[in-house]
Structure 1
Amino acid sequence: MMRARWFLVAVASVWLGCKKPEAAPLPADPKVAKHGRTLFQRGRSVRGTPLTGFLAPERVELSGEVAACARCHGPSGRGSAEGGVEVPDISPGALGHARTRAVGELEDRSRPAYTREALLRAIMEGRSASGRTLGVTMPRYVLSPEEQAALLSYLERLGEEPDPGISPTTLTVGAALPLTGKLGPVGQEAAAVVRAVFADVNASGGLFRRKLELVVEDDASSIEASPTDATTRLLERGVLALVASMRRGPLPSDARLTEEGAPLILPLALNGGVSDEDSPVFFLYPDEPTLARLAVQSLARAHEAELRRGSLLVVHAGGASGTAWALAARDELARRALRPPEVLTLSDSPLPLERWAAEPPLAVLYAGTPEGLDTLLRGLEQRALPVRVFAPASLAIPEVVGRSAPRVHFLYPAGLGERAPDLEDFAAFMKRHDLRPGHAAFQLGAYAAARVLVEALTRAGAEVTRASLTQHLEALRDFDTGVSPPVTFGANRRVGIQGAQLATLDAATGQLVPVSGWIPLSP
């Protein structure tokens, strides 16, 4: 169905680009043209609402990315082929000239050159430059005056200027990583891994004769909850995409990423993140709210009767990420018609240990700081409460867990036991580039994110744009990064690995040991 709809838009969109032939257009306002680019590439209006068009005569609605012109005739307007049907070049040079004969099988019979007025009639009323009524597959778009001006401004320069970060010889990618502060060593290790992946690509001739270049902005303050945002600085420097950044959760710059359509391939967020279906942020691993859902699903399979009595506790350290953790658990319980959990914020209330001793809960779902987990575990130990604790694997710190290790089940999405990836090639990669093993989770995450980016850039081809890169990320299916479970994205899927395993921390080795099979995320 989606392929058929894409085909309809492909046939319809061949009319959507031109340049006034009578006189050179006035220089386009870059800000206005930028709004037009969002309409053309992503199907988003000036105000951020979906672009809407209707297929005559039934008035079948097309909306958002499905209606975006770039989906069909290509982000640069040079044309494409879908289902064996040729979609011709709609760049200014192609539609700004008269045509004296038909081309191929499409409805672009002889016509005069398009003027701005004729183009708007084609877009909004379905009439060609010669006045002929266009076919029923041509959407009649609903555009405000602002949107009309923005789209025309962009179409006048369509295909003439490359996206940020693209030059004839380089593709520049950014990473927002802590290079100083307590997480500085982690960020430096991640940057070194990404640079090494790029070095391997460049040593093999690059991508379509372009070298990959990584620029890193120090994001130590953002990791520690300061308003300073390295992602914004990278976008201002002009990068094609971002990869392997590290952060606690959503940032103000996410709106800027969405506005510019710049994809970010994120190994993980330390405390939750954005995975909306229209977000440019692609997660390799589930964010923390998704892990909360997985924990509830695992408990519901084995302890549905207890959960119906309402014996689940959700504890977090406060803030937006803690609230998201609690809401995800509550929503998953409600979806299964189970009683809502008791929610406790450590920053607001002490642990009600006496009440828990009188009526022990089935389990506690915890997300937050290592200090908060330490407080929770020490309290349970003092009362000798046999309560299991579920927590994200980012909190699997031996110094924190200590002798409570058997009671803590960590949600680990990277694969353990039979699902553990074979890291022999990764070990050889590290040795070849003289990189020392360090913070393994972040080194592996950076490697996987860089491999995903390189694969999507390779598929996007020589005429890569941000929009086409996003499309090829969405098209990844069961991609093997070499260090993780297979990664699959989609138009409505921004988390590549949707599942996890339960694991405990081996006190002797400090390694995670699986205590469950793979738990796939139920829709």
Structure 2
Amino acid sequence: MPGQSSIYKLLRRTGLALVLAVTPVLAGAGQAGDAELGRRLYWEGIGADGKPVTGVTQGDVEISGAQFSCVNCHRPSGFGTSEGGNYVPPIMGNILFDKKQLDRNRIFKDLYQEVQPPNFWARVRQPRMRPAYDEVLLARALRDGVDAGGHEFDPIMPRYELSSADVANLAAFLKDLSGDLDPGVDDKNIHFATIIGPDADPAEAKAMLDTMKVFFTYMNIDTEGDTTKPTFSPNYRSNFVDAYRLWNLHVWQLEGAPETWRAQLEAKYAEQPVFASLSGLVKGPWDEIGKFCDDKRLPCVLPNAELPTPGEGRYGYSVFFNRGIALEAEALAIHFGDEALPLGRVVQIHDAGPQGTRPAAAFQETLNMVLEGTEVETVEYADAAGLKAALERHADADTLVIWPEDAAEAVKVLVDVDPKAALITLPSVSKDFANAAFPSDMIARTKLIWPYDKPGSYHPRKYRIRGWMHTRRLDVTHPRIQLQTYYALTLMEFGLMHAISDFYRDYVLEIIEHEAENELNPGTHPELGLGPGQRFASKGAFIAELAPEERVGFRVVSDWIVP
């Protein structure tokens, strides 16, 4: 697949090879297992009796239930990972039970692309032979920590107290785990979508799509070049030729109200299933799209979204840059608490739509925790006239916290009313509108929440990306959106590079989690990283003041605030 030349060069330089053989023996006959109960055991640590399973790790540390459920180490895909420098092997059915050998390509990322301690390298390189598992051997492994070949597992692997039904259920679940390749991939192509909402700014959408089209074009040029002579260097390239795919982009333009989006997405997916959705641009709630992604098990990777699906979204299929406006609201409340500012009379005015109601609720809840007893008057408005009336009615407020749906409209109303509050706060999207319209005295009294990086921060990759864009004559009209789009694309590129030909969505998502904090940050956020199951790559925000005299139009006045 495209973008893998570096892997092949590394393999050619090292000259290393590894064959881990698995002696083929089909699973032995045992009681029929319930795969759904096996899934619950794998994910939640709940046994067939409905109670949390128990066990020990490290010899004498007692564990229970989800503390050490299988998914925590072996991951949703079953492909395993590394845990504290320990190698966690794959445990899918076609590894444990089928008449197959463990392909060197499958552990290529562990062999050559991971920084790990020596004991990890020793473990992953062991060409240890073992029979295939059956239910009897699986039971011994889970209860006693002894593999099918009679070798003892590392102490970190728990020894569980499991019934025969538990073992049968887990075996039934593992049998089909990561069995069939996921939709959206054929022998020559891999299909991706990008989702654009009906209210997306046309100029922003064009900048995003232009970036994606250039990226796809050059990925496919590389692919065609690398596959023209696949046996030119047979010691490395021929091993991976079956992993190459041409990238195909499908633009899913949504229309109408959010409650109609699900049917539109279903129709587009039925016409051409895709392996993942990359980037995207959606104003307002992501909720309907998020439900679709979860139901289809479709990775939706780093859309430009104002209102990500509420909640932590652990192990969901939508991955976001941050929690959007709700994050901004919580960071503002924490800033008020940390600074012990003399807020006086606080009035929060918000739009009646979700861009107003959700941050208003988050601000109120967080302020109640950090400044207990602080009273906040909350006022809802429906249109510009309603906002003007609310501002005029609360002209004596000391602190105004405003959450608009239309930032440009809200700024115009503020200029018209000219409230005399000592402090006015606005979300980050208001920056350019406020700088252009506010008089100097209002600029001095206004603060922004800024969930992006501060000016002057150094990110080497940002300059390389800009160079890539300029050499390909890509107009950089909306830098943040285009850099974020590039980041989403490169995460998928690296995810597929490591997955080789294992086109499993869960597995690629796990690699994306692992790769997010590596040297791929395009400079849009101070830090980007994802832990296992996490779905928000950036966790905090700054407080900033308007500064129209500065090139960027603001200056940061707080530390990085992580709610």
Structure 1 and Structure 2 fold alike (TM over 0.5)? yes
Which residue of structure 2 aligns with residue 414 of structure 1?
Answer: 452
Kindly report which structure 2 residues correspond to 1:186-225, keeping only aligned pairs within 5 A, or say none. 186-205=204-223, 209-211=243-245, 213-221=247-255, 225=258
Mapped partners of 1:37, 1:430: distance in 2? 48
Mapped partners of 1:389, 1:469: distance in 2? 44
Instruction: Give the count of matched residue pairs.
Output: 476
* Change in 2 beyond 3 A, CA 1:245/1:122: farther
- Given candidates 56, 61, 64, the residue that maps to 1:61 is 64
Which residue of structure 2 aligns with residue 172 of structure 1?
Answer: 191
RMSD: 4.9
* Change in 2 beyond 3 A, CA 1:265/1:89: closer
1:258 lines up with 2:294 in the alignment:
yes
* Change in 2 beyond 3 A, CA 1:505/1:194: farther
- Given candidates 506, 515, 522, the residue that maps to 1:467 is 506
Quick one: which amino acid aligns to residue 66 of structure 2?
S
* Change in 2 beyond 3 A, CA 1:520/1:73: closer
Gaps of 5+ in 2: 1-23, 100-123, 227-239
Mapped partners of 2:78, 2:505: distance in 1? 11
Which residue of structure 1 aligns with residue 327 of structure 2?
Answer: 290
Residues 542 and 560, structure 2, Cα contact 8 Å, conserved in 1: yes
Kindly report which structure 2 residues correspond to 1:27-106, keeping only aligned pairs within 5 A, or say none. 43=43, 53-55=53-55, 60-63=63-66, 67-69=69-71, 71-72=73-74, 75=77, 83=85, 87=89, 91-92=93-94, 94-95=96-97
Mapped partners of 2:307, 2:88: distance in 1? 47
Kindly report which structure 2 residues correspond to 1:16-415, keeping only aligned pairs within 5 A, or say none. 43=43, 53-55=53-55, 60-63=63-66, 67-69=69-71, 71-72=73-74, 75=77, 83=85, 87=89, 91-92=93-94, 94-95=96-97, 114=134, 155-178=174-197, 183-205=201-223, 209-211=243-245, 213-221=247-255, 225-229=258-262, 231-233=265-267, 236=270, 237-247=272-282, 248-271=284-307, 273-274=309-310, 276-278=312-314, 279-302=316-339, 304-307=340-343, 309=344, 311-338=345-372, 339-347=374-382, 351-357=389-395, 359-370=396-407, 373-374=410-411, 376-381=413-418, 384-398=419-433, 402-404=437-439, 406=443, 407-415=445-453
State the SS of the aligned residue for 1:368.
coil
Which residue of structure 1 aligns with residue 112 of structure 2?
Answer: none
Mapped partners of 1:150, 1:250: distance in 2? 36
Residues 452 and 481, structure 1, Cα contact 8 Å, conserved in 2: no
Residues 44 and 51, structure 1, Cα contact 8 Å, conserved in 2: no
- Given candidates 532, 541, 563, the residue that maps to 1:491 is 532
Mapped partners of 1:266, 1:123: distance in 2? 39
Residues 164 and 240, structure 1, Cα contact 8 Å, conserved in 2: yes
Residues 191 and 250, structure 2, Cα contact 8 Å, conserved in 1: no
| TM-score normalised by structure 1 residue count | 0.71
* Change in 2 beyond 3 A, CA 1:181/1:337: closer
Mapped partners of 2:129, 2:84: distance in 1? 20
Quick one: which amino acid aligns to residue 484 of structure 1?
T
* Change in 2 beyond 3 A, CA 1:122/1:312: farther
1:309-360 deviation digits (Å, cap 9, x = unpaired): 4x33222212334222012111221221341422111129653445533x33
Mapped partners of 1:290, 1:428: distance in 2? 32
Quick one: which amino acid aligns to residue 296 of structure 1?
A
Which residue of structure 2 aligns with residue 522 of structure 1?
Answer: 562
Which residue of structure 1 aligns with residue 482 of structure 2?
Answer: 443
State the SS of the aligned residue for 2:401.
strand
Identity among equivalent positions (%) equals: 12
* CA drift at 1:290: 0.4
1:458 lines up with 2:487 in the alignment:
no
Residues 317 and 368, structure 1, Cα contact 8 Å, conserved in 2: yes
Residues 78 and 91, structure 2, Cα contact 8 Å, conserved in 1: no
Residues 246 and 266, structure 1, Cα contact 8 Å, conserved in 2: no
Mapped partners of 1:437, 1:428: distance in 2? 11
* CA drift at 1:361: 2.0
State the SS of the aligned residue for 1:172.
strand
State the SS of the aligned residue for 1:315.
strand
Mapped partners of 1:240, 1:37: distance in 2? 26
Residues 53 and 139, structure 1, Cα contact 8 Å, conserved in 2: no
Residues 275 and 281, structure 1, Cα contact 8 Å, conserved in 2: no
Quick one: which amino acid aligns to residue 360 of structure 2?
A
Quick one: which amino acid aligns to residue 314 of structure 1?
Q
State the SS of the aligned residue for 2:476.
coil
* CA drift at 1:72: 2.3
Mapped partners of 1:398, 1:81: distance in 2? 48
| TM-score normalised by structure 2 residue count | 0.67
1:445-493 deviation digits (Å, cap 9, x = unpaired): 3223223333343344443522222222332325433342331222364
1:480 lines up with 2:520 in the alignment:
yes
Q: Which has the higher contact order (CA 8 A, sep 6+)?
A: 2
Mapped partners of 1:473, 1:51: distance in 2? 33
- Given candidates 544, 552, 558, the residue that maps to 1:502 is 544
Residues 77 and 158, structure 1, Cα contact 8 Å, conserved in 2: no
* CA drift at 1:288: 0.5
Mapped partners of 2:520, 2:130: distance in 1? 49
Gaps of 5+ in 1: 1-16, 98-103
Mapped partners of 1:297, 1:93: distance in 2? 49
* Change in 2 beyond 3 A, CA 1:344/1:79: closer
* Change in 2 beyond 3 A, CA 1:430/1:127: closer
Q: Which moved more, 1:470-479 or 1:88-97?
A: 88-97
State the SS of the aligned residue for 1:269.
strand
State the SS of the aligned residue for 2:347.
strand
